[in-house]
Chain A
């Protein structure tokens, strides 16, 4: 049952990614050129509403579907890894025009060269893991 719910949440997310055009290479380019409000409106409204949802859950101690406390883990403190890692990610996001969610939506949409991007991103993650403790 839980698995079906995860699958349906994913289906909803995938549909939203392609229908919002957030998975379009062109929209990402346009966003980095500051030529349209579209992506900013989308991310902005998602975050604005997300801040309210997150606040309400914490403030009123709202329970999960299974009756437990909802724990939202804070991110580890730091600066360098976020700015450097983030910039590396940004270079790739703009070049491939896709981040990890949209990549998979594009595979489903039938843009098969994206499979190269996915394979390379898995490899990139592997290389990060390899270098992390060195």
Chain B
């Protein structure tokens, strides 16, 4: 007998296929590079490598662009470039905190609601989601921010309180689908505790949804933060693109656009890059497209 060489079969998972596809999505990769660049900027601000002087008065009123002040200065002589760069940190901080916590809460409550579909637990959670979704977003956020005036995280809490419901609904639907599959029934049959089933066997299979939702919420959180800060309900003590745009609302009438342009361009770049990356990730993780 001669030995027959059996070719090694490389087992392809959803993740490896998605990674392969994502790596070949040129637009997605460029977008990711931009996002990483922004992240580097945010890390640098946090570490104090740059933009540490964002709050200091270093020039005169409304100075034009120069070597000393790349985007000029604002009404009180602060460097607009430093403030715009510092705002990147604010955007990332808000985006990350809101996206991560809203995703975790949405995943947990959505999974519980889906797993106990039809029970009173599901009813209560659905009712809660319905109530939160029925309140106009900015009205709700404004109410929470107003009620928690001294809390620097009021805006974060307000956004998390509303953002988790969309994740929760998606995960609930996915879990309802998953819980009828054979492997879950098998787990039931061998008396695996329900909590373990949810955590170990069901939630991991919703990760592709959570990942995409987290990126979408990241972008939404940044946009909401900018709008809330513009309205005076957002960042309490720090700098944000929304605050810069609010500052510029009167400046543009005087023909001074630097604050507006600096904040808008940087915000546009991040939101656009993250949206494109989110799209690419969604395409890569879509089982119908991954095959």
Same complex for A and B? Answer no
